[in-house]
Amino acid sequence: MKIAKPLIATVLFMLLVVVSWAQATKKADQQYDNRGYYEAAKLYKTAEPATKSLDDKARIFFRLGECYRLVADPQQSLEWYEKAIVAQYYNNNPEVYYGYGLSLLELGRWDDAVAQFNKYTAKGGDKSKASLRIKSAQDAASKKNAKVKITVENVVELNSPFFDYGVAYSGPNQIVFSSSRQASAGSYQDPITGESFMDLFYADQDKKGKWSSPQPLAGEINTISNEGAASFSKDFKEVFYTYCKYESEKAWFACDIARCIKSPDGKFNQISNLNVIDRSQNDTSVVGHPCITADGKYLLFASDMPGGKGGKDIWYMSYDKNNTSWSKPQNLGMINSSGDELFPHVADDGTLYFASNGLGGLGGLDIFKATKSGEMGFNAPVALEYPINTSSNDFALVLEMKKEGDKSFSGYITSDRPGGKGKDDIYRFTEQSLEFSLVGTVYDKDSGTPVGGAAVTLVGSSNSGDPINLNMTTDGNGGFSFDKTQIKSNYTYTIDVQKDKYIGTGDKLSTIGLSASTNFAREYFIIPIPDPTSRQGGIEMPEVRYDYAKSALQVNAEVNSKDSLNYLYDIMVRNPKLVVQLEAHTDARGADKDNQTLSQARAQACVDYLVKEKGVDAKRIVAVGKGETEPRILRKDMGSFKKGDELTEAYINKLASKDQQEIAHQLNRRTVFRVLRTDYVPGK
């Protein structure tokens, strides 16, 4: 009995663990099937540690990768796809390579994405599907560097750290968009995103083009459930929007399209469901992203209802004024694919803009346009160019309201591209001249602290413009900036940074051939000049190598010591008043006199290269061999050696392993330079 009771308890415990794992996995699968990817990910993570079967673990890893990709977190999805591949899930399902490739594509890792799509086809995946994505990766890599006329800018005053998407005009100077920001009324956590449910927010634009702080729409339109992706009638009195009712985990209803009326006091009430789908017959299909045409005749929307081409398609209904009713949904077949088509927008000229992940493009969702052909017909869709489309998800284009006669191409899109303020952000695109600027910070290379009072010189040249020569001084935080009037298109610039008692630095930048507006950001590290009489007055350089017991500079397939010496050459060119002493050090092995002779010959070989091959004035540089007389004192941690260690022969001999001793000897074999003067004048 003493043995049986613990055994029974153990068996019961193991059964509970198995049951708990099975329940967690089942709930995770249910959430996944219902598109509750955020909740599914949490449940899969709970189930995974207790999962014993490698095949089951591999499936969970794959599902986690899919969940994070589908909630627009491609970086985190990579971890789980990689685990699934290590667990050989590809033997059961090659889609793991495809999903992995999609995440890499969205992150702009195009070559890596192509490799995964090739592995996908090698394991029996759909070749046509993979070929489409391989082309996307190749196009993204080439088009990012192509010349374009479109500027895309983050509308920071509208965006939050959360999801913000889907601009619609609700008045001549007012927009409405969807957001999960904390001011939303949604009291539940969205199982898809893990954030609050979306609400509809509005913002007003002043005469200078600045948007007001977004506020929730007034009235009954925003509820505890999800509201989003709105479209307004031409007179702005009606709004059609996506409504996803959610009462609890057990009462989560598919999305539908609702209609709401704007009252004279500005509140949105009188809500009705268009009942696009008979929910007594179909309670799973999703309907949303409505777009009402300017004439009010047609309502376009996205849905995965039966009868489509695959995924979500764009459908439309026509309005019968006599019967005040909408027709049955019709599939807009000519522009749909086997993937997803979403967020339709019909311009005043009848051109249809929409997002798709099934028609090629640059990766993720891309924005396409299809010109009008007939009453509700369209020509073959064409992808918009970079930078409207990127390898990230780009969608929900709406054209800007313009004055009559203004035919410029501008408007708003939504994207989760890197560098945004939140998960999805609203961006404005415009056709305008390119703008450039430069912001920089100067730091002390040794301490890492900002350096104020440094002199920054900007010199620019162009084949078609006047030369530019500007000077400024860094502020107390080491910062400086040149604006769009100073950094111009088709110029090459040299930046020079100098400060007393420091070795100056700088670099070059060019705006020639750039296809997008750019805010250049640079960091410059200037080297403080040590006391030349100090033991540690030498400044370290990249490693210069020599053949054993010889002084000739080592240049071969593995190392080019001349490249290392070019580091000092560049410093002397940028700092023409420096006079330096180039020092060569040996390790402690061998006779003292031999080491001294060898180090002098090596130092002279370096000086000869700089003087004879690079043209440095011989009066500015002197060769000194130090032999083994000055063991290295480390200025920072290097492997197992610590900052401040002095690599004397006695210190090295006490090291436990021959390998460590050899590393220490190598650290002692070094070439450094010491600044002797900063007042050199040619000819004197």
Structure token digits, residue 556: 């071969």
- Three-state DSSP class for residue 152: strand
Lowest mean pLDDT among 3-17, 215-229, 327-341, 487-501: 3-17
Burial of 385 per CB tally in 10 Å (0-12, 13-18, 19+): middle
Alpha helices in 34-172 (DSSP H): 37-47, 54-70, 74-86, 95-106, 110-122, 127-143
Is 60 exceeded by the pLDDT of residue 130? yes
Burial of 288 per CB tally in 10 Å (0-12, 13-18, 19+): buried
Structure token digits, residue 558: 């593995």
CA 578 to chain centre: 42
What's the rounded Cα separation, in Å, for the pair 293 and 497?
A: 58
Q: Provide the pLDDT for residue 487.
A: 95
Band (pLDDT 50/70/90 cuts) for residue 279 is: confident
Is 90 exceeded by the pLDDT of residue 135? no
What's the rounded Cα separation, in Å, for the pair 453 and 500?
A: 9
Q: Provide the pLDDT for residue 408.
A: 75
Cβ atoms within 10 A of the Cβ of 362, count? Answer: 30
Average pLDDT over residues 330-342: 93
What's the rounded Cα separation, in Å, for the pair 49 and 71?
A: 23
Q: Does residue 182 contact residue 163 with C-beta atoms inside 8 Å?
A: no
307 Cβ neighbours under 8 A, 6+ residues apart? 331
Write the Ramachandran bin of 286: left for phi over 0, alpha for psi from -120 to 50, otherwise beta.
beta
**DSSP class per residue in 190-204:** PTTTSSBPPEEEEEE
Q: Does residue 362 contact residue 302 with C-beta atoms inside 8 Å?
A: no
Q: Provide the pLDDT for residue 249.
A: 58
pLDDT digits (tens, 9 = 90+) for 534-553: 888 888 888 888 877 888 88
Cβ atoms within 10 A of the Cβ of 316, count? Answer: 20
Q: Provide the pLDDT for residue 284.
A: 86
Average pLDDT over residues 166-186: 87
Cβ atoms within 10 A of the Cβ of 520, count? Answer: 16
Q: 645: which DSSP letter? A: -
| Beta bridge partners of residue 506, listed in sequence order | 496
Is 50 exceeded by the pLDDT of residue 14? no
C-alpha dihedral (77, 79, 83, 88), degrees to nearest 10: 50
Pairing of strands 518-528, 579-585: unpaired
Q: Provide the pLDDT for residue 485.
A: 92
Q: Does residue 638 contact residue 644 with C-beta atoms inside 8 Å?
A: no
Q: Does residue 550 contact residue 467 with C-beta atoms inside 8 Å?
A: no
Q: Does residue 241 contact residue 227 with C-beta atoms inside 8 Å?
A: yes
Q: 67: which DSSP letter? A: H
pLDDT digits (tens, 9 = 90+) for 627-664: 999 898 888 888 889 999 989 989 999 998 999 998 89
Residue 339, CA atoms < 13 Å, CB-side half-sphere: 20
Is 70 exceeded by the pLDDT of residue 417? yes
Q: Provide the pLDDT for residue 590.
A: 87
Band (pLDDT 50/70/90 cuts) for residue 190 is: low
| Beta bridge partners of residue 678, listed in sequence order | none
Band (pLDDT 50/70/90 cuts) for residue 248 is: low
What's the rounded Cα separation, in Å, for the pair 635 and 89?
A: 48
| Beta bridge partners of residue 317, listed in sequence order | 299
Pairing of strands 352-356, 366-370: antiparallel
> Of 451, 570, 436, 431, which is closest to residue 502 (Cα–Cα)?
451
Band (pLDDT 50/70/90 cuts) for residue 18 is: very low
Residue with the larger pLDDT of the pair 505 and 408? 505
Q: Does residue 553 contact residue 605 with C-beta atoms inside 8 Å?
A: yes
Q: How far is CA 297 from CA 200, 325, 333, 346, in A?
A: 24, 11, 19, 12
pLDDT digits (tens, 9 = 90+) for 292-317: 999 999 999 999 999 999 889 999 99
What's the rounded Cα separation, in Å, for the pair 607 and 226?
A: 72
> Of 235, 245, 247, 155, which is closest to residue 201 (Cα–Cα)?
155
Is 60 exceeded by the pLDDT of residue 96? yes
pLDDT digits (tens, 9 = 90+) for 477-504: 999 999 999 999 889 999 999 999 999 9
Round the average pLDDT of the chain to a whole number and report it.
88
Average pLDDT over residues 32-43: 85
Q: Provide the pLDDT for residue 16.
A: 43
Residue with the larger pLDDT of the pair 173 and 405? 173
Q: Does residue 156 contact residue 421 with C-beta atoms inside 8 Å?
A: yes
End-to-end CA distance of the chain: 104
Percentage, residues of the chain above pLDDT 90: 57
Is 70 exceeded by the pLDDT of residue 10? no
Q: Which domains does the chain have, with CATH numbers?
A: 4-143 (1.25.40.10), 162-401 (2.120.10.30), 436-528 (2.60.40.1120), 539-677 (3.30.1330.60)
Band (pLDDT 50/70/90 cuts) for residue 191 is: low
pLDDT digits (tens, 9 = 90+) for 194-234: 677 889 999 999 988 899 999 999 999 998 888 999 999 99
pLDDT digits (tens, 9 = 90+) for 569-616: 999 999 999 999 999 998 888 899 999 999 999 999 999 999 999 999
Q: Does residue 442 contact residue 464 with C-beta atoms inside 8 Å?
A: no
What's the rounded Cα separation, in Å, for the pair 10 and 522?
A: 62
Amino acid at 414: T
Pairing of strands 505-510, 579-585: unpaired
Q: Provide the pLDDT for residue 11.
A: 44
Q: Give the helix/strand (H/E) hosting 289.
A: strand 287-292
Is 80 exceeded by the pLDDT of residue 101? yes
Q: Provide the pLDDT for residue 13.
A: 41
Residue with tokens 């309201």: 401
Burial of 118 per CB tally in 10 Å (0-12, 13-18, 19+): middle
